[in-house]
Structure 1
Amino acid sequence: MTKLWLAATALTTALMTSGCVIVVADEGDGAKMMRQHRSADGYIVLDRDGDYSRLSGDLNLRGRLGGDLSLVSGDVDADGLEVGGEVSIAAGDVNFTGKVDGEVSIAGGDVSWNGEAGDELSIAAGNLTVHGHIAGPASLASGNMEVDATFRDGLSAHAGSMTINGEVHGPLELVAINEMRRNRDYDDEGDIEIGARVHDGGQVCGIRVTIASTARIDGHFEVFAEHQPVVESGARVDDLVFTPRDRRDCEDLIDN
């Protein structure tokens, strides 16, 4: 996934790929760029089998793309977009709904993902919301995170605070505040709430951990936290093991 993580690198690669469309624009060129594609309601509507790469300001996309999508831009709104290849986006705020057959890499401010990923999903954001179905391994990082999705091949999530719902198959790793600084209080961050159906156990490290009433967790489940985890009435956890964190770094506690 490293080759996709830097969208600028992906854009350079796309420039050397035959059959791709390259559009370079700034904010003032928006109307001119729109005339090069069919548009509707302020959206560029794609319908092509090749790749599409763009370096631009704000961008609104719909339609179908058979190849890879590579964007370095302002805000991005992809509405019901279907991509047959891979997606790499480095942008401001990103709202993506639709389906991607290949790997997905997104870096942005406020990011919302609601769709199907046929392979690996990697997102780094300030604030992150994830819905949908992810077939490959998922790696998520943000300040605040809300997840309600199905993960078929594991989930690794790092955030200031997070809420995890949905369903997780494969390895699960959740970290809130990896490193606790000396003489700093964490009253408003470091919370992990889990209400998901977890099939294969996992490891969780944070300040406070809550296992919600909707949680169903099979297998060995390790919790490292500053406080005893709260297990709400109705939650089911097969094998919960709690170890006091004692302000240690999560990376020193969780098996890699």
Structure 2
Amino acid sequence: MTRLLLTTAVASVLALTGCIDVTVSTPAYASGSHQSLQGGDFTAVLDEEGDFRLTGADVRVSGEVAGRLRASAAEFVARELHAGALSVTAADISFSGDVDGPVTLTASDVSWRGSVGDAVEIRAADLHFEGQVGGRFSAQVADAELSGAFAALDISAADLELARNAHVRGDVRANAADFEMDGRIDGQLDLSARTVWINGELNAPMILNVDPGRGRLSPEDGLVELNGDTVGGMICARRVVIRGDVNGPLEVMADAPPQLLNGAHAQDMTFTARNGQRCERNS
């Protein structure tokens, strides 16, 4: 195994699979036989035909890795990066570019702008994601804001927002404290939450279990607001307010009949008193 210690301001390293241009502020090591770069703080421009690994403190990278890029860092910043697949563990992740295959991210804060051809798995505290995802998008986060085009979503969050330009072609299964949807979902929305605002467009029947919890309740605990266009479904909640159009059968179980405001339409709606029953998924 051949290693080159990079201590100059700018170095160019020939690896077995391509070329690495590296700027370092602390010593870094390039390994040709293992296709990897490790050190303290460094910036790398990659051109790799296979898999590659990065390990460092503050890591900044651009270029192309045809295989899987694996990275472990305190701060990982990718700008105009293309990879065949991507796996990153870091405190903070900031990404722009595109990935052909699957993406796995574990971090405190994640900011993503770009496309993914396959599935995405994310564990994070704060997530801001803008892009296109060809496979299923799965995430466990505290706060998330999603925009762009998605095949399907499976996500758990405290605060979850689907922005105005978010479009999910398939199903959405979510658990959240506060859920706000301003975009469009073509598949089924299966949601367990504490407060829900549907301001966008739902094109398949929804299943909303919006439980207010126990103890002291705020006016928004257990609230569902339908402010956009929906096609009906089932809602279990404390209170339901409808300001948009419901264009299909809607079953509501709540503490009181839904309020229809601002000329809302819900012609095929049935109501059942909740009588303290918990709003929970069957499975």
Fold match by TM threshold 0.5: yes
| Aligned counterparts of 1:231 and 1:24: Cα–Cα separation in 2 | 57
Equivalent in the alignment of 1:141 = 175
Equivalent in the alignment of 1:64 = 98
Equivalent in the alignment of 2:276 = 247
| Aligned counterparts of 1:161 and 1:174: Cα–Cα separation in 2 | 10
Instruction: Select the residue among 187, 190, 208 that pairs with 2:239.
Output: 208
| Aligned counterparts of 2:276 and 2:51: Cα–Cα separation in 1 | 50
Q: Quick check: 2:145–2:160 contact (8 Å CA) kept in 1? A: yes
- Rg comparison, structure with higher value: 2
* Structure 1: runs of 5 or more not aligned: 1-18
Equivalent in the alignment of 1:197 = 229
* Change over 3 Å in CA distance of 1:247–1:69 after alignment to 2: same
The offset of 1:88, in angstroms, is 0.7
How many residues are paired up? 220
Q: Matched residue of 2:276: which SS?
A: coil
Q: Quick check: 2:239–2:256 contact (8 Å CA) kept in 1? A: yes
* Structure 2: runs of 5 or more not aligned: 1-49, 64-75
Q: Matched residue of 1:52: which SS?
A: strand
| Aligned counterparts of 1:22 and 1:172: Cα–Cα separation in 2 | 43
Report the RMSD for the aligned CA atoms in angstroms. Answer: 2.2
* Change over 3 Å in CA distance of 1:245–1:52 after alignment to 2: same
Matched, 1:219 2:248: yes
Whichever residue aligns with residue 145 of structure 1, its letter is: F
Equivalent in the alignment of 1:232 = 261
List per-residue Cα deviations over 1:87-126 (Å, max 9, x = no partner).
1100110000111111101111111001110x22112111
Q: Quick check: 1:186–1:207 contact (8 Å CA) kept in 2? A: no
Q: Matched residue of 2:268: which SS?
A: strand
Q: Quick check: 1:46–1:65 contact (8 Å CA) kept in 2? A: no
Q: Matched residue of 2:199: which SS?
A: strand
| Aligned counterparts of 1:244 and 1:120: Cα–Cα separation in 2 | 33
Equivalent in the alignment of 1:105 = 138
| Aligned counterparts of 2:265 and 2:54: Cα–Cα separation in 1 | 52
| Aligned counterparts of 2:209 and 2:55: Cα–Cα separation in 1 | 38
The structure whose residues are more often helix, as a share, is 1
Q: Quick check: 1:21–1:51 contact (8 Å CA) kept in 2? A: no
| Aligned counterparts of 1:255 and 1:241: Cα–Cα separation in 2 | 20
The structure whose residues are more often strand, as a share, is 2
| Aligned counterparts of 2:253 and 2:162: Cα–Cα separation in 1 | 24
* Change over 3 Å in CA distance of 1:21–1:69 after alignment to 2: farther
Q: Quick check: 2:205–2:230 contact (8 Å CA) kept in 1? A: no
Q: Quick check: 1:67–1:85 contact (8 Å CA) kept in 2? A: yes
Matched, 1:37 2:98: no
Equivalent in the alignment of 2:157 = 125
Instruction: Select the residue among 110, 117, 135 that pairs with 1:84.
Output: 117
| Aligned counterparts of 1:128 and 1:236: Cα–Cα separation in 2 | 27
The offset of 1:47, in angstroms, is 3.3
Whichever residue aligns with residue 248 of structure 1, its letter is: Q
Q: Quick check: 1:22–1:54 contact (8 Å CA) kept in 2? A: no
Percent identity, aligned pairs only, is 27
Superposition TM-score, scaled by structure 2 size? 0.72
Q: Quick check: 1:37–1:44 contact (8 Å CA) kept in 2? A: yes
